[in-house]
Chains A and B, each alone.
Chain A
């Protein structure tokens, strides 16, 4: 069923009884052309673009739990393309362009809202660094505006401009950035992929790989073996664990990142604002909750929950930025497991095992990348060659020294 104003109206008049499930809960077939491991946003987007752009429809997405229950359902929903380095910026801008057309493409309301992303600066040195980043964005055809303190004040008069330690001097604004509804992105891709014939197989955990010599020819799962022409891994958070089953060691550590949402409030903050002197980012959901987060906890973890020191640190960042949220109560907080790569940038590449392809290392920036990650991974799987915007995201860049170290902190994953 195509969703439209008419379908909403007719179902409203008939007591909402006409809606059908948005995708089939498929059982595994013995073999597929391509098997994608991981039913998050990236895996489902990959399957969708394989079917839509490359005409490869004999595809399965297999997921250990239910789709969207990992990091796709745990992020702070920010989309932006304000990167510095040439290996990153064209990719994230391609993602931004796909976000801009996503809802028409999928016929699904993903609530993409280009409400603007503002990164604040607090010193002359930070202003210069942001001016450089803004210029790098413009050289790649991306919008950016460097605001002074008055420009920021006109947008958000309630910020703590006179903070004695970290006065707000201005900010780098990307107006096309914003937020999207994370679950709707997963559901939209799942529905659109399903309509093109992709099997979405839930509660199906990969326990090993089928191989002939060094070539990967399928996966062993808790629901039986599934043969595949090609296998793509899109299991960020667990990449090391799954890749280890194929005998691979990755340049990745798993770390926990916490996120928070407050009780529902009346409209308070209409864009995305980040505090530049600590690490704190905040926006307001359409339900009214303030959605915010900060740094990763900083130690290896697969626990999907964090500890109090980082909660305190995030709260301090929030209070330094906008003291008026001091009496707002937290509604929920949670943790997700990040694939922290050794240079802070992702990997979309072939692996040393023929037939096995890797999409990993998203650190804590994977949500905004969902459409382009799917697009580029599908391109790689279909054509066996990297997409032009993801050609720097190679697995062997750590061996050859072609790192994409956006933050410049070296091979120390908990600092990226």
Chain B
């Protein structure tokens, strides 16, 4: 697999480390129902067979977190963007 890093260009997947599904977002611990929300966030996954947005870290490159769209049935990678918008990274 080659991941098209927006900063470094296409690089072999062995340069990256994998976190997983990009969808779960850390819940607010002060919100009501936080216990259920954290259970969902930490343990439950959609685990789809098909396109999946996931987080990869370019450890041996630009050391940026990327959001990569990859099909779990074919390993076809159709795009990669910085996980955080540029403005947010710059701050």
- A residues near B (Cβ < 8 Å) are 238, 240-241, 244, 249-254, 298-303, 307, 309, 342, 398-399, 411-414
Chain B residues with CB under 8 A of A238: 49
A237 to B74, alpha carbons, bound, how many Å?
16
A253 to B54, alpha carbons, bound, how many Å?
13
Asked if B12 is at the interface (CB within 8 A of a chain A CB), the reply is yes
B19 CB → nearest A CB, Å: 8
Chain B residues with CB under 8 A of A413: 20
Taking a contact as CB atoms closer than 8 A, the residue among B42, B46, B47, B75 that contacts A307 in the complex is B75
24 residue pairs of the A-B complex, CB under 8 angstroms, read A240-B48, A244-B46, A249-B44, A249-B46, A250-B45, A250-B47, A252-B47, A253-B20, A254-B49, A254-B72, A298-B18, A299-B54, A300-B20, A300-B21, A300-B47, A300-B72, A301-B75, A302-B72, A307-B1, A307-B75, A342-B43, A398-B39, A399-B43, A412-B20
Which residue of B is nearest A401, CB measured? B39
A375 to B39, alpha carbons, bound, how many Å?
30
Chain A residues with CB under 8 A of B20: 253, 300, 412-414
Given A299-B54, A300-B21, A302-B49, is A307 in contact with B43 using a C-beta cutoff of 8 Å? no
Contact, CB under 8 Å: B74 / A300: no
Contact, CB under 8 Å: B43 / A240: no
Taking a contact as CB atoms closer than 8 A, the residue among A249, A252, A300 that contacts B54 in the complex is A300
Chain B residues with CB under 8 A of A251: 43-45
Taking a contact as CB atoms closer than 8 A, the residue among B14, B18, B47, B75 that contacts A254 in the complex is B47
- How does the 8 Å CB contact mask read for B23-60 relative to A, with 1 for contact and 0 for none? 00000000000000001001111111100101000000
A157 CB → nearest B CB, Å: 35
A323 to B50, alpha carbons, bound, how many Å?
40
Question: How would you classify the secondary structure of chain A's contact residues: helix, strand, loop or mixed?
Answer: mixed
B59 CB → nearest A CB, Å: 13
Q: A254-B72, A412-B20 are in contact. List 11 more A-B contacts (CB 8 A).
A: A240-B45, A249-B45, A249-B46, A250-B44, A254-B49, A299-B18, A300-B20, A300-B72, A302-B49, A307-B75, A414-B20
Given A300-B54, A301-B72, A303-B73, is A241 in contact with B45 using a C-beta cutoff of 8 Å? no
Chain A residues with CB under 8 A of B72: 254, 300-303
Asked if B13 is at the interface (CB within 8 A of a chain A CB), the reply is yes
Taking a contact as CB atoms closer than 8 A, the residue among B14, B39, B45 that contacts A252 in the complex is B45
Contact, CB under 8 Å: A309 / B12: yes
A328 to B72, alpha carbons, bound, how many Å?
32
- How does the 8 Å CB contact mask read for B48-91 relative to A, with 1 for contact and 0 for none? 11001010000000000000001011110000000000000000
Chain A residues with CB under 8 A of B14: 309
A302 to B46, alpha carbons, bound, how many Å?
13
Chain B residues with CB under 8 A of A398: 39, 42-43
Chain A residues with CB under 8 A of B43: 251, 342, 398-399, 411
A333 to B52, alpha carbons, bound, how many Å?
26
A237 CB → nearest B CB, Å: 10
B27 CB → nearest A CB, Å: 15
Chain A residues with CB under 8 A of B13: 299, 307, 309
Chain B residues with CB under 8 A of A302: 49, 72-73
B47 CB → nearest A CB, Å: 4
Contact, CB under 8 Å: A303 / B39: no
Which residue of A is nearest B42, CB measured? A411
A170 CB → nearest B CB, Å: 32
Given A303-B73, A309-B13, A309-B14, is A241 in contact with B39 using a C-beta cutoff of 8 Å? no
B55 CB → nearest A CB, Å: 11
